[in-house]
Amino acid sequence: MISQENSTGRPLADSAWLDNHHKAKIPERTAVAKRLSHLHPNSILDLGCATGLWLELLNNYIPKECEFIGIDSDEESLYLAQKRSKSWDRKVTLMHLNLEEDLKQIPPSDLTLAFNIFPYIKDLTSFVEALSLKNPKGALAVRQYDGASIRFGPMPTFERQNIEVDLRMATESSNKFHHYDLDRTFDVLKKSHYKNKHFEFELFERSSPFPKDFIPYYNGMIERTCQHISDKSAEYLRKWMNEDQTMTNRYFYEVDLIALLS
């Protein structure tokens, strides 16, 4: 059983999972880092920075005068982020905080990153409102995946829909996070008090032959799905994987909500 939970029990947040996810998406994430560098922030605050992977990437594209601040409630992840940050030639502050409980201690910054962190926040409206008041001139960059916009194939629609329903039943009732959070995020951001709101949807896609760096993420995603669905659907999915062990006739895509507010 692979848990994909970090040491504080946050799902989809253990360091190996985040590493695989990051490596699979390096080309797309590099493009994001370059785009963010055009905002010329003097400080970047990464909410739920985990092991510091995004900050490490940004370190390559953002001038060293810009301060990096990372916040996470998981000490083990912060320890890894701390180790990573040692080679960065800039001011770096890593804070062990619970974003909801310690809301007042979140510092203001020019650019705040909320990358796949909202699913863990219960009262998202109040949280976004509080962020917008921290620095009225600051920007908020959001990236949000959704369990319903991840697809692998080809497979019969009937089988896929069985898997999707099983997965939704298993994860929707979780009180640990919202696996289906794109619509809540969109809604809250649209109604927020930020003046400028820009929304996009970003496609991440790979078709076989898969690049080497993508395969651990892909396999992890399939294995995680197998663990959360009914025995019958899991049996189908494992058989489907085994039918094409060399992965010659496979595709994968997911769509993330991207927002920039200021």
Ligand X SMILES: C[S@@+](CC[C@H](N)C(=O)[O-])C[C@H]1O[C@@H](n2cnc3c(N)ncnc32)[C@H](O)[C@@H]1O
How near is the Cβ of 75 to ligand X at its closest, in Å?
Answer: 9
- Name which of 50 and 226 has its Cβ closer to ligand X: 50
CA distance 140 to 192: 11
Residue 46 pairs in a beta bridge with: 70, 113
Residue 45 corresponds to which amino acid?
A: L
Give the pair of three-digit tokens for residue 135.
């620095």
Cα 17 to Cα 194: distance, rounded to the nearest angstrom: 33
Contact positions with ligand X (CB under 6 A) in 179-238: none
Binding mask 103-122 for ligand X (x = CB under 6 A): ------------xxx--x--
Least separation in angstroms between residue 116's CB and ligand X is 4
Identify which of residues 88 and 153 has a Cβ nearer to ligand X in the complex: 88
State which residue has the least CB distance to ligand X. 48
Packed helices 157-172 and 231-243: angle between N→C axes, nearest 10 degrees: 130
Q: How many residues bind ligand X (CB under 6 A)?
A: 22
Q: Which is nearer to ligand X, 237 or 261 (CB)?
A: 261
Beta strand pairing call for 251-261 and 139-144 = antiparallel
State which of residues 18, 163, 229, 259 lies at the interface with ligand X (CB under 6 A).
Answer: 18
The span from the CA of 6 to the CA of 50, in Å, is 9
Q: Identify the residue whose tokens are 């180790």.
A: 83
Binds ligand X by CB under 6 A, chosen from 50, 58, 106, 188: 50
Q: Which amino acid is at 259?
A: A
- The candidate with the shortest Cα–Cα distance to 113, out of 52, 24, 26, 180, is 52
Structural contact between residues 118 and 165, judged by C-beta atoms closer than 8 angstroms: no
Could you tell me the maximum CA-CA distance found in the chain, to the nearest angstrom? 55
Q: Assign 247 to helix, strand or coil.
A: coil
Shortest spacing between CB 246 and ligand X, in angstroms: 30
Interacting residue with ligand X among 4, 43, 73, 185 (CB under 6 A): 73
Among the residue ranges 71-79, 130-138, 207-215, 220-228, the one whose residues contact ligand X (CB under 6 A): 71-79
**53 vs 167, beta carbon nearer ligand X:** 53
Q: For ligand X, which stretch binds (CB under 6 A), given 10-18, 125-133, 191-199, 208-216?
A: 10-18
Is 3 or 98 the residue whose CB approaches ligand X more closely?
98
Which structure tokens are listed for 245?
Answer: 């062990």
Phi, psi of 59 (to 5 degrees): -55, -25
CB of 101 to ligand X, least distance (A): 7
* Residues near ligand X, by CB under 6 A: 6, 8, 10, 12-13, 18, 48, 50, 53-54, 71-74, 77, 98-100, 115-117, 120
